Chain A
Amino acid sequence: MVDVTFGAGYPLPPPEVEDVELYHAKSWLTKYVFSQDAKVIAIQYSMTAMSIGFVALVLSWLMRLQLAFPDSFSFIAPSDYYQFITMHGMIMVIYVLTAMFLGGFGNYLIPLMVGARDMVFPYANMLSYWVYLLAVLVLVASYFVPGGPTGAGWTLYPPQAILSGTPGQDWGIILMLVSLILFIAGFTMGGLNYVVTVLQARARGMTLMRLPLTVWGIFTATVMALLAFPALFVACVMMLFDRTFGTSFFMPAIIQGGEHLKTAGGSPILWQHLFWFFGHPEVYIVALPAFGIVSDLISTHARKNIFGYRMMVWAIVAIGALSFVVWGHHMYISGMNPSFGFFFATTTLIIAVPTAIKVYNWVLTLWRGDIHLTVPMLFALGFIVTFIIGGLTGLFLGNVSVDVPLSATMFVVAHFHMVMGVAPILVIFGGIYQWYPKVTGRMLNETLGMVHFWVTFLGTYAIFFPMHYLGLIGVPRRYYEMGATNFIPPSAATLNIFITVAALVVGAVQFLFLFNLIWSLFKGKDAGGNPWRANTLEWQTPQTPPAHGNWGKELPVVYRWAYDYSVPGAEQDFIPQNQPPTAKAV
């Protein structure tokens, strides 16, 4: 047996920090709006992220319409199209995925899962949300300024990002950079909270190696984000200077439209290094929380301990560390010293090993399980399939020479949507179906959930699987229209129409999900405290939804890991983490 499983003889240490003194809300305003309760902040983060996510969804519809039916929509000019793709990408990566996993799931689950009353700095936590909201509003404001939002592509490569050949050069790019700076400032306040809470505010008996993998994933991702976002922060500040004060951090001597611009000596490739030093860890900042959550979903609904818990923890940490030395794989054809290719290809492919181990352990958890195909479980299974495709195509793009023909094509678009678009979003959905009963006290409607799952899962597969093959032909990304070429067969246009139809259907079914969220709030089945019969602490709260302070008078005491499912000889097929051991169970 494993030592992480049974710690009954382990002497309970005193709490590492005194019981947190909570600010108890005195009015409606401080209870629901300027709340310092991590659970309320989590809901605020999630609702804001979902709202802006629907904007990104509509943008993706518009760009898909243009790709399938070029010349059909007079209201989509090239500049509009480039604004759509830029805003869609930035919104999804930063303002939806990062905010949802860390601000949403992180805030809700960390204090509950580690057995704390709240985050350790509740006031900073509240500020974190309001600065995030401000960042979102600044971003949205760029739709209402002259010239509209920036159309520089979500990577904002200079020099074009701040030159007149790119849409949104007047105000859009400035607002984008300001919004990112705000987002990072807001995130830092929240992120420090998550890290300190996990390290300092765990319940007695909650050793690090008893933490649920959800917490491990969010914790590691937050540490990474705190290290990676500063690179983006300084890059944004420098570009803002280049744009507004005429500095030349990223600007060499440039001739545009016959005019010699007053720039000289800057390095556009420096931006790429800074951006991807943030940008690649960002992929795992999104993926690691998803890895953690999906591990817990699979374990709970297969009624079986997660297979190889310790290996899963070390894989998360290893992936997190390695992801800081692979950023160059986004720049194989950037013209940087070609010798870098050897290094970055090697580090990138090494990451495949811990990542593959995680996949094996998920599917091995299914082996000899007692699989309940609940909606959260279906989303978890959908995640595995999608993530396998996305991970395996990463082996094409990471392997430097194979990347050369594929880079800048639709293959790349298909790859990153599978691996860091669809896969994490399937986990977000799974997580919402899983924890909505704890948040609201009611179950989401299962039939609607099933429809939502199957249409989303199969639909996104239909969108992105064939898209890889467009990239193989050589269809480049970020093209408003293909026009005439002598290498793309006419059938590719048919495939584009098929993809667009699938995208419209997948988008539409998200509104069904929205309906389910609202309808179930009033009409959903009563959930009870622990509808999934799960072990982790958030299901053991005295009230559902948990009150401010989470635990009533007594903080929980933890006696075991999170995965005591189907323990031989136990009465039930689950043993909550705070259940003291009986003589028999040891």
Chain B
Amino acid sequence: MATALMLILIVAGSVLFHFLSPWWWTPIASNWGNIDDTMIITFWITGIVFIAIVLFMAYCVFRFRHRPGIRAAYEPENKKLEAALAIVTAVGVAAMLAPGLLVWKRFVTVPKDATEIEIVGQQWQWSFRIPGRNGQLGTSDARFVSSDNPLGLNPADPVNQDDFVIVGDDLHLPIGKPVKVLLRSIDVVHDFYVPEFRAKMDLMPGFVSFFWFTPTRTGTFDILCGAFCGVGHFEMRGSVVVEDEKSYQAWLGKQKTFAQLSAEAKRAEASKVEIKY
């Protein structure tokens, strides 16, 4: 009796917690609303299964509790029942898998008009690169990394010269425009994680990974690292500012290109040399 009651309380408590507790996902700020929708479908299907099975258990524990003189039934198998349950389960699973795969199809299909930007991770900070007028990001390699060239852009690649390099500052994105994010790490595995965007992806040293999204809400959002990257993992933070096109262009106008940064570095080097002699 107490056991059956406890099982019922677990179901009731879990359902109440789900609907009444203040803890739920953050308001979305990207185009990935259909990920949230798929999750809602999954919540409903799994929730119903959970409630049904545990309540059935509670009923059995109460109804078929041991009483003197009563024997259990003897029923080794029931093919029809087993087949029916297997089919119902398969249908339920398909109802979750189908939308999941459809959304994944969209997730891996980058729209043609998406702007490429690059996010570079290192222990324990975020850096960014945004293409200049030519709209393209040039080549890069970890071999080129130096204090003057923290992202390792190929200095000989002309495409690189007008790329905006943003180190130690926030990333800005214009609202409503799809971005293809290229992800690169120069040391260990990191993960670009903005909860409001829903989408996230690892930065894997050795190759370039990608994902895409469209920011749909203005505001400033936290960037976290979602892949354990050493003792400073929890402090690897950044911010992404989603704003209208005008503010975005104003911000971009203040950023320095790779060519400017290289020239500054050369001048600094030269002045150092003068002092030395």
Contacts and interface: CB of A to CB of B under 8 A. Distances in A.
Contacts of A334: 202, 204, 209
Contacts of B271: none
Given A163-B187, A163-B188, A465 B221 contact: no
B39 to A, nearest CB: 5
Given A335-B207, A385-B57, A565-B72, A401 B232 contact: no
A388 B66 contact: no
Interface of A: 1-2, 4-5, 78-79, 82, 151-153, 157-160, 163, 165-167, 252-258, 260, 266-269, 302-305, 307-311, 333-335, 338-339, 341-342, 345-346, 349-350, 352-353, 356-357, 359-361, 363-364, 366-373, 378, 381, 384-385, 388-389, 392-393, 395-396, 399-402, 404-405, 407-409, 454, 458, 461, 465-466, 469-470, 472-474, 476, 478-483, 485-487, 489, 491-492, 495, 563, 565-568, 573
A335 B64 contact: no
Given A157-B189, A255-B187, A349-B93, A473 B101 contact: no
B142 A253 contact: yes
Interface string B121-157: 0111000000000000000011101010000100000
B71 to A, nearest CB: 5
A381 B64 CA distance: 14
22 contacts: A2-B77, A79-B231, A151-B231, A160-B188, A160-B230, A256-B123, A258-B147, A302-B72, A308-B76, A335-B204, A338-B104, A341-B107, A342-B101, A342-B104, A350-B93, A356-B89, A373-B61, A381-B61, A399-B96, A401-B100, A474-B195, A568-B74
B230 A165 contact: yes
Contact of A385 (B10, B86, B90, B201): B10
B206 A479 contact: no
B218 interface: no
Nearest to B49: A392
Residue from the set B3, B124, B183, B206 with the largest chain A CB neighbour count within 10 Å: B206
B10 A479 contact: no
A439 B77 CA distance: 33
A473 B143 contact: no
A89 B216 CA distance: 39
Contact of B227 (A2, A338, A373, A408): A408
A267 B206 CA distance: 7
A55 to B, nearest CB: 22
Nearest to B43: A396
Interface string B35-49: 110110010011001
A2 B76 contact: yes
A156 to B, nearest CB: 10
Contacts of A408: 191, 193, 200, 226-227
A411 to B, nearest CB: 10
A439 to B, nearest CB: 26
Nearest to A339: B108
A165 B97 contact: no
Interface stretch (B18-26, B165-173, B251-259, B262-270): B18-26
Contact of A404 (B3, B199, B232): B199
Contacts of B188: 157-160, 163, 165, 254, 268
A384 B11 CA distance: 13
A142 to B, nearest CB: 17
Interface in B49-69: 49-50, 53-54, 56-57, 60-61, 64-67
Contacts of B187: 159-160, 163, 165, 254-256
Contacts of B50: 388-389, 392
Contact of A401 (B3, B35, B78): B35
Closest 8 CB pairs of A and B: A335-B209, A474-B195, A252-B206, A165-B230, A408-B226, A399-B100, A366-B60, A160-B188
Contact of A381 (B35, B57, B103, B183): B57
Residue from the set B34, B85, B220 with the largest chain A CB neighbour count within 10 Å: B85
Contact of B100 (A166, A345, A389): A345
Contact of A333 (B67, B141, B201): B201
Contact of B189 (A160, A167, A371): A160
B159 interface: no
Contacts of A368: 64, 72-73, 75
Contact of A476 (B34, B74, B193, B202): B193
Given A253-B141, A338-B108, A370-B72, 18 more contacts: A153-B228, A165-B231, A167-B231, A252-B205, A254-B205, A255-B142, A305-B75, A311-B82, A334-B204, A345-B97, A360-B82, A364-B81, A367-B60, A396-B39, A405-B36, A405-B199, A454-B6, A489-B23
Given A255-B122, A366-B60, A166 B231 contact: yes
Contacts of A359: 53
A372 B64 CA distance: 9
| Chain B contact patch, size range | 35 or more
B93 A404 contact: no
B75 A404 contact: no
A354 to B, nearest CB: 9
Nearest to B23: A469
Contacts of B90: 353
Contacts of A258: 147
A255 B145 contact: yes
A79 B45 CA distance: 41
B182 to A, nearest CB: 11
Contacts of B222: 485-487
B89 A78 contact: no
B7 interface: yes
A409 B226 CA distance: 8
Nearest to A153: B228
B152 to A, nearest CB: 8
Given A402-B39, A566-B71, A483 B191 contact: no
Interface in B206-229: 206-207, 209-210, 220-222, 224-229
A357 B64 CA distance: 22
B81 to A, nearest CB: 8
A472 B25 contact: yes
Contacts of B34: 401
Nearest to B209: A335
Given A334-B204, A335-B183, A371-B66, A78 B60 contact: no
B189 A392 contact: no
A405 B221 contact: no
B66 A370 contact: yes
Contact of B74 (A304, A407, A461): A304
B275 interface: no
A474 B100 contact: no
A372 B66 contact: yes
B200 A357 contact: no
A357 B85 CA distance: 7
Given A309-B77, A400-B104, A567-B74, A465 B17 contact: yes
A5 B74 CA distance: 11
B108 A346 contact: no
Nearest to A310: B77
B93 A352 contact: yes
B26 A373 contact: no
Contact of A165 (B73, B93, B123, B193): B123
Contacts of B77: 2, 307-311
B206 A268 contact: yes
Nearest to A563: B76
Contacts of B93: 349-350, 352-353, 395
Contacts of B235: 483
Nearest to A269: B204
B10 to A, nearest CB: 6
Contact of B234 (A260, A341, A480): A480
Contacts of A476: 193, 224-226
Nearest to B147: A258
